[in-house]
Structure 1
């Protein structure tokens, strides 16, 4: 008699480590691109492998997995031999890009251990004093349990989103999920609240202190997606959008804190979620951030392509401001390519779209995109092209127009202006502006901003004989030593 119970692939679960199923799926897709394969891997596929539903991957996935884990065999990765599963009910599904599913277990094979019961899966940020997780820490097993929670039977609880900073602790009433794991309004609202609060904290404090803590609600959101059914299509659409926006928000925290590969993975996960859900607004947002990251990491051609793809996704959304921002992302990429004409044209399109004003369809996440941000992004384009005087003029406008509500941007705009003034040769004004950035760095934790200011300081070093410049350099150096 053949057992119909799938045997969980605990080895594969262990290999995934602290990453969420979505994050690991993004790593699989990235590895596939490295060897010229195309696999439509997503969090659900990873879940099916780990649950034992897929006992042996198809040949494309096999090549990708063996590329990811050099020297390993399929057996080392917890899979059954291909000979043992061929012809035993393997079937093709569109959602797994031709993956052979082998849901049965051969006769006589003992079922593997069941996943342990899990503690509540939380959409809250852990307390600020909690040590940040690492890839090889004692919390790996706990993280794996958190990811498995929706694959176990019984009632699971999810804490409503409650994000804190400093000494604020997460505090929220638990929301019970029934045994059938049906996701409803309370859970979706918790995800949406997590997105808003992460953005609020980033606006005030920057990404360095938030990134590790924000990974927990992101894992919870994708666990909700993996959980299964929702009562209504509208609820499912909101959950996909919320999880994707949360991935982008956490990706931005990684971006701002200099964790570029993590950011790339989160943005890719958001894009995959958008494509699966057919969500053009989420797709445009993911491409917007991917373009920004590509520009910052020296891949200007990719920045242009991503911005153009974002513009295609955004055309039918009815938001001129979104199109303006995407055009500025394109301009930044073209500046990186040294294409002054193309950059100028993209800026012209951006300004024309921006002047059409706000619209009801403007995404919630675009609250930062105001006149000051428009000036800053144009300043960055001219700075990249080496037109320091033009960059500084736009940078001054950005500083004059900025909204004090966005504390991180108070430092960001001044850091950009400090560098442009220094390169233009206005050392005294650059030093004075640099002091203003230093005044803000106790409240703003951003590797990106610190890097910009350090670059300006290097430019100013030859002018250290000037009293104002010397004072700024000394203060900057002292802060670097204390950091």
Structure 2
């Protein structure tokens, strides 16, 4: 009930404006309204990096997308402002999509994706188009549909913004690398990593970029995607190398990313036979992430199952069983 009330409250002011009495003068929608929405978008991005995958984040972002669309109907605006409003709605929908992907709610993510794509077309914003199609590639990769993942990511990479800004090109290549890893192609994985690194090195740090890109894509994220790719390829030594590089460079507020990277590092250590270090690494993941982030919780359970498979009578397995009982209330 509290969640429904909260989500309903997000759009209250915009809906009130949209349903104003017919005899009242229509209000003027301007850039100040757009700026308020953009500030709310920055808040959604910050919440995602702290928590990630939560249903509440998805619902809040979807409600804010509806709020942006309600503003379209609440008064007069220039074409420029209307394009910005559609861009805001598309951005919020893309965040709802990402939260659903991160939470393993793929059917919901696909619904958000279709709505975000339509809104992005009306906005004519290449940056948000890139974000949506790049997220689509990630969604299909997590679903194990690598052919669709490559096709979706290629749409993102084909946008002109990749030629204008090497940082966009780098992100597209980095996500392509993760898809090649999931597809079991080491040659293309290595090539994509080299190209992504080269594009990042060419990027101008002083160029204006959207808040969502500035908030997460840097050397740490490139190494995180390399870690994912090399885990998929069972190259655990390289995976561990990129995990350590990522953790050193992660910005402090990237709590969700830290939990995911630490969990993947534990798996890379485990597969190299370092049972105790791997178990200690896995148990260092914050309890909040271990219990509340769907992707982290699933990876930790997979870690426990693999540890039990490799060394069921080891001290590390016993330690993990105690940890799992304390964390989840049962062996995991």
Match of 2:21 among 139, 154, 178: 154
CA offset digits 1:7-44 (Å, max 9, x no partner)? xxxxxxxxxxxxxxxxxxxxxxxxxxxxxxxxxxxxxx
Match of 1:331 among 150, 169, 177: 177
Query: Greater helix share, 1 or 2?
Result: 2
Partner Cα separation in structure 2 for residue 334 and residue 405 of structure 1: 29
Does the 8 Å CA contact 1:325/1:350 hold for their aligned counterparts? yes
Partner Cα separation in structure 2 for residue 324 and residue 264 of structure 1: 25
SS in 2 for 1:465: coil
Match of 2:277 among 429, 434, 443: 429
2:2 paired residue number: 130
Aligned residues: 326
Does the 8 Å CA contact 1:319/1:359 hold for their aligned counterparts? no
Partner Cα separation in structure 1 for residue 168 and residue 87 of structure 2: 17
Against the structure 1 CA distance between its residues 383 and 448, is the aligned structure 2 distance closer, same or farther, given a 3 Å change threshold?
Answer: same
CA offset digits 1:134-193 (Å, max 9, x no partner)? xxxxx99x99999986764527xxxxxxxxxxxxxxxxxxxxxx6536422343222212
Against the structure 1 CA distance between its residues 228 and 333, is the aligned structure 2 distance closer, same or farther, given a 3 Å change threshold?
Answer: farther
Is 2:219 the counterpart of 1:352?
A: no
- The offset of 1:314, in angstroms, is 4.4
2:238 paired residue number: 390
CA offset digits 1:432-480 (Å, max 9, x no partner)? 11011144537x8321111111111111113243324421332123312
SS in 2 for 1:298: coil
Against the structure 1 CA distance between its residues 189 and 144, is the aligned structure 2 distance closer, same or farther, given a 3 Å change threshold?
Answer: closer
Is 2:61 the counterpart of 1:194?
A: no
- The offset of 1:363, in angstroms, is 2.6
Partner Cα separation in structure 2 for residue 271 and residue 184 of structure 1: 24
TM (normalized to structure 1)? 0.61
Match of 1:475 among 317, 323, 328: 323
Is 2:91 the counterpart of 1:224?
A: no
Does the 8 Å CA contact 1:250/1:266 hold for their aligned counterparts? yes
Against the structure 1 CA distance between its residues 438 and 361, is the aligned structure 2 distance closer, same or farther, given a 3 Å change threshold?
Answer: closer
Is 2:115 the counterpart of 1:265?
A: no
Does the 8 Å CA contact 1:221/1:243 hold for their aligned counterparts? yes
2:153 paired residue number: 307
Partner Cα separation in structure 1 for residue 321 and residue 272 of structure 2: 18
Against the structure 1 CA distance between its residues 233 and 316, is the aligned structure 2 distance closer, same or farther, given a 3 Å change threshold?
Answer: farther
Against the structure 1 CA distance between its residues 279 and 457, is the aligned structure 2 distance closer, same or farther, given a 3 Å change threshold?
Answer: same
Q: Which moved more, 1:186-195 or 1:465-474?
A: 465-474
Against the structure 1 CA distance between its residues 230 and 445, is the aligned structure 2 distance closer, same or farther, given a 3 Å change threshold?
Answer: farther
Against the structure 1 CA distance between its residues 477 and 181, is the aligned structure 2 distance closer, same or farther, given a 3 Å change threshold?
Answer: farther
Does the 8 Å CA contact 1:376/1:394 hold for their aligned counterparts? yes
- The offset of 1:315, in angstroms, is 3.6
Does the 8 Å CA contact 1:294/1:303 hold for their aligned counterparts? yes
1:239 paired residue number: 85
Match of 1:341 among 187, 193, 203: 187
1:80 paired residue number: none
2:267 paired residue number: 419
1:158 paired residue number: none
- The offset of 1:250, in angstroms, is 1.5
- The offset of 1:337, in angstroms, is 2.2
- The offset of 1:369, in angstroms, is 1.3
Structure 2, unaligned runs of 5 or more: none
Is 2:168 the counterpart of 1:322?
A: yes
- The offset of 1:317, in angstroms, is 6.3
Does the 8 Å CA contact 1:379/1:390 hold for their aligned counterparts? yes
Partner Cα separation in structure 1 for residue 253 and residue 15 of structure 2: 40
Partner Cα separation in structure 2 for residue 316 and residue 326 of structure 1: 8
- The offset of 1:302, in angstroms, is 1.2
- The offset of 1:287, in angstroms, is 0.9
1:274 paired residue number: 120
SS in 1 for 2:35: helix
Structure 1, unaligned runs of 5 or more: 1-128, 134-138, 156-177
- The offset of 1:263, in angstroms, is 1.4
